[in-house]
Amino acid sequence: MANTIVLGAQWGDEGKGKIIDALAATADVVVRFQGGANAGHTVYVDAERFVFHLLPSGVLRPKVLNLVGNGLVVDVIEVAEEIRELAERGVELTPQRLMLSTGAHVVTPAHRIIDGLLGGKIGTTGRGIGPTYTDKARRRGVRLGSLLDGTFRERVLAVTDAIRAEVEKVHGAEFPAHDGKLEELWAAAEAIRPFVGDVQAALYRKASDDAEILFEGGQGTLLDIDHGTYPFVTSSNTTIGGAYSGSGVFLDFHHRIAVMKAYTTRVGNGPFPTEQDNEIGEHLRARGDEYGATTGRPRRCGWLDLPLLRKAIIINGFNEIALTKLDCLDGIDPIRVAVGRDELDQPVYEELEGWTESVGPATHFDALPAAARAYIGFLERRLGVPVRIVSTGPGRDSQFERALP
Ligand code: IMP
C-alpha cells in the first residue's frame, strides 16, 4: 500500500488539516510524530468547524487508527479535553482508534507557565512546547509511560519543583501557585491512561499488514529546529527526518506532499523576506482569515517565496504539491512571486497576471481561470514538482485532485 507524508512547506498554517482530512478518507492509519498543542488544524465538515491541537486529523474518520508518536509533547489536560469535546459532538474515540505513545513527553502546567514567562522573545504559542522539549533533552522530562508504571505524579511534582526553583532563582520571577491545574492534570491523566500504549509496535504491525499509512506533520519546514529560520523556530524536527525519530518505524513514503499556500504567512517573530506590510498583506489576511488557530494572533502575510520553497524540497524530497488557498488570490493583479535574491539578499520578483473571477467553483483543473492555471504551471516549472491537489476554499468539497502522469 502507498504511504504518504504531508508536511508544511512554509511557516505552518498552510492548510494541512484539510488536505490530511481528505487523504484520511482512504487511510488506515494517521500518525503525528512531532510538536504538540502548538499545532492547530482546522477541518470543516459541512458547516461544522473542528480544530485539533493534539489529536491526529484522522479522528473524524471512523475506520482510521490515530497514532501520537514518541516525538510529541503531549498536554494531557488538552488531549483529554479534545477527546471529551469530540465525544460531545458525537465522535467517540476508543483505544482501538487512538493510541498515545508511552515515549511521548508530558507538557505539565509548569511548562506552560515558564513558556508564558520566557517565550515572548520569539513569540511562541505559549503552550509549553519549548520548555518540555528542553526538559526532554535535559533528561528530566516526564513520559506518558509513567502513567502505566505508577510514577506519573512524583515525576510531575519533581519537574514542577525544578522549574519553580529555576524561575525564582535564575530569573528572579514569581512562580504562581497552580494547585487547581495540578488537580485537573491528575483527573485528565486518569482519563487518557487507557489510550497510552506502544505506538512503535502498533505502527510496525500495521505497516507489516500492508496498511495505508498517512503521516501528518505539524507546523512547517521553516519552523524546523535544525533547518528553519533559527532561532525563530519551534523545538522539534518538522521535516521528514522527524517522522522517523518521532515514530520509531522506517517507512518508504511514496507520496511526499508539500502543503503550500498560494502565498506566504508566518505567525510570531523572525525573518520573512517577502512580507507585505501593506494593503496587499492586509487584503490577504482578511481574505484568508489569517489569524492563528491556536493563539488567534494575526498572521503576517506576503508573496510566495520560491528560494525558500526550493530549500523545503531539498530537505523533504517532496514529489507532490498540495496548493492551498488559491481563492485568496482572486482579484489580485498582478501577482508577484519571489524567484531569487539580489546582491543585498533582497527578494527578486516576477509578476504574473492575476484573475478577476473566483476560482472557488472550479472542480477540476481545466475549469480554473486561464491565469490561475498559468500561475500553477509557473510554480511547477520553477520548482520542478507537480501540483497534485488544488484547494480553493475552506470546505471539504472545495478541493480537487489532478491525475499526475
Ligand atoms: P512554539 O512552537 O510555541 O515554541 O513557538 C515557536 C515558533 O513557532 C513561534 O514563532 C510560533 O508562532 C511558531 N509556531 C508554532 N506552532 C505553529 C503552528 O502550528 N503554525 C504556525 N506557527 C507556529
Please indicate whether residue 48 or residue 316 has the higher confidence score (pLDDT). 316
- For residue 170, what pLDDT is reported? 84
3-state SS assignment for residue 155: helix
134: Cβ contacts below 8 Å, ≥ 6 apart = 235
User: In the chain, what percentage of residues exceed pLDDT 70?
Assistant: 100
Residue bearing the CA closest to ligand 1, atom 21: 12
Catalytic residue list contains 209: no
Q: pLDDT digits over 158-202, tens only? A: 999 999 999 999 888 889 999 999 999 999 999 999 999 999 999
Q: What is the mean pLDDT of the chain?
A: 95
188: Cβ contacts below 8 Å, ≥ 6 apart = 76, 77, 79, 80, 81
Q: Does residue 45 register a pLDDT over 90? A: no
Q: How far apart are CA 234 and CA 228, in angstroms?
A: 9
The catalytic position among 21, 41, 111, 224 is 41
Q: Which atom of ligand 1 is nearest to the CA of 125?
A: 3
Q: Which atom of ligand 1 is nearest to the CA of 126?
A: 3
Q: Does residue 386 register a pLDDT over 90? A: yes
Q: What is the mean pLDDT of residues 123-148?
A: 96
| 17 Cα to the center of ligand 1, angstroms | 16
Q: pLDDT digits over 199-223, tens only? A: 999 999 999 999 999 999 999 999 9
| 50 Cα to the center of ligand 1, angstroms | 20
Tell me which H or E stretch contains 322: strand 320-324
| 394 Cα to the center of ligand 1, angstroms | 22
- For residue 387, what pLDDT is reported? 98
The 3-class SS string of 210-275 reads CCCEEEECCCCHHHCCCCCCCCCCCCCCCCHHHHHHCCCCCCCCCEEEEEEECCEEECCCCCCCCE
Q: pLDDT digits over 279-320, tens only? A: 999 999 999 999 987 778 899 999 999 999 999 999 999 999
Q: E strands of 3-101, at which residues? A: 4-8, 29-32, 41-45, 48-52, 65-68, 73-75, 98-101
Catalytic residue list contains 41: yes
Q: Could you tell me whether strands 320-324 and 387-391 are parallel, antiparallel, or unpaired per DSSP bridges?
A: parallel
* 14-17 long-range contacts, CB within 8 A, separation 24+: 14/220, 14/259, 14/260, 14/261, 14/324, 15/259, 15/261, 15/322, 15/324, 15/325, 15/391, 16/41, 16/57, 16/216, 16/217, 16/218, 16/259, 17/41, 17/42, 17/43, 17/52, 17/57
Q: How far apart are CA 65 and CA 345, in angstroms?
A: 46
Mutual angle of helices 179-192 and 109-118, in 10-degree steps: 130
- For residue 18, what pLDDT is reported? 87
Using 50, 70 and 90 to split pLDDT, how confident is the model at 405?
Answer: low
Q: Retrieve residue 378's grid coordinates.
A: 509557473
| 300 Cα to the center of ligand 1, angstroms | 13
| 161 Cα to the center of ligand 1, angstroms | 27
- For residue 119, what pLDDT is reported? 74
Please indicate whether residue 264 or residue 40 has the higher confidence score (pLDDT). 264
User: Which of 57, 73, 135, 267 has most ligand 1 atoms within 8 Å of CB, for mutation?
Assistant: 267
Angle at 278 between CA 272 and CA 263, to 5 degrees: 50
The catalytic position among 13, 21, 224, 305 is 13
- For every residue of 328-393, DSSP letters joined together read GGTT-SSEEEEEEE-TTS-EEEEEE---SS-STT--SGGGS-HHHHHHHHHHHHHHT--EEEEE-S
3-state SS assignment for residue 401: strand
- For residue 332, what pLDDT is reported? 97
- For residue 124, what pLDDT is reported? 87
3-state SS assignment for residue 81: helix
Q: pLDDT digits over 103-131, tens only? A: 999 999 999 999 988 877 788 889 999 99
> Residue 323 pairs with which residues in a beta bridge?
260, 390
Neighbours of 322 (CB within 10 A): 27
Q: Does residue 44 register a pLDDT over 80? A: no
Q: What is the mean pLDDT of residues 146-154?
A: 98
User: Which of 16, 125, 133 has most ligand 1 atoms within 8 Å of CB, for mutation?
Assistant: 125
Q: How far apart are CA 7 and CA 137, in angstroms?
A: 24
Q: Retrieve residue 181's grid coordinates.
A: 491545574
User: In the chain, what percentage of residues exceed pLDDT 90?
Assistant: 86
- For residue 43, what pLDDT is reported? 76
Task: Give residue for cell 539580489.
Answer: 342
Q: Give the pocket of ligand 1 (CB within 6 Å).
A: 11-13, 38-40, 122-125, 127, 129-130, 218-219, 223, 232, 234-235, 267-268
User: Which of 223, 236, 294 has most ligand 1 atoms within 8 Å of CB, for mutation?
Assistant: 223
